[in-house]
Amino acid sequence: MSRERIRARIEEIGIVPAIRVPSAADALFAAKAISDCGIPIAEVTMTVPGAVEVISELARTRPELTVGAGTIIDVPTAVRCLDAGAQFLTSPGLDMRIVEFAAQHDVVVLPGALTPSEIMAAWTAGADFVKVFPCSVLGGAGYIRALKSPFPSIPLIASGGVTQGNVADFILAGAVGVGIGRDLINPEAVQRRQVDWIRELAGRFLQFVNAARSRRLA
């Protein structure tokens, strides 16, 4: 899948599920469940044991899934993930070397940024989206709204503290999408292998995002 199509899929769905679970088996289950539940995107974080192998397995066996690598903190890790089949890269903070590496290899990248200066730097360096993280601790949706005033054309992904109760607020504030972890990929649901539980959560988040988008366009 091309960089343009991956970027379009992330923007279309508007949800980037962050898989942060205690085992490779849990990660594989979570990625499959979330894809089967209508969100064909999975960010496998490097905190998962055997994360690179998980990415490789998903890339090989789930062609319908857009699989990415999350919590990338250095270029060597980005190289390993890309070699394993990752289709996008995300980082918790702004490391220009990671953004530049992704741009050089024509890979979708969502660097973490928090301040206006970091957002400007990330976008200028070639980021596809800028992940505002941790968003909730700096005012949540209000912070996104404040950032969209000077940066109306920069696609922001709100991440960190996104819940069922506030996801619509982030979209209404101008975020093009949201990053969601345990509030979507519930640890107990994963442990019990309860796909229906994850399907219910996925359906709710998709409904909230789509309804907020409709209100924003009205």
Q: Would you call 43 a catalytic residue per the annotation? A: yes
Please tell me which residue in 11, 53, 64, 131 is annotated as part of the active site.
131
Tell me the two tokens of residue 175: 């975020």
C-alpha–C-alpha distance, residues 87 and 66, integer Å: 6
Q: Which residues contact 55 (CB under 8 A, 6 or more apart)?
A: 44, 67, 69, 81, 84, 85, 86
Q: What is the largest CA-CA distance in the chain?
A: 45
Cα of first residue to Cα of last residue in the chain, in angstroms, is 32
Q: What angle do CA 218, 158, 137 make, to 5 degrees?
A: 120
Q: Is the dihedral of CA 136, 139, 145, 149 positive or negative?
A: negative
Please tell me which residue in 12, 43, 53, 200 is annotated as part of the active site.
43
CB 31 within 8 A of CB 19: yes
CB 58 within 8 A of CB 42: yes
Q: Would you call 148 a catalytic residue per the annotation? A: no
CB 49 within 8 A of CB 55: no
Q: Is the dihedral of CA 157, 138, 46, 79 positive or negative?
A: positive
**DSSP letter at 153?**
T
Q: Annotated catalytic sites, by residue?
A: 43, 131
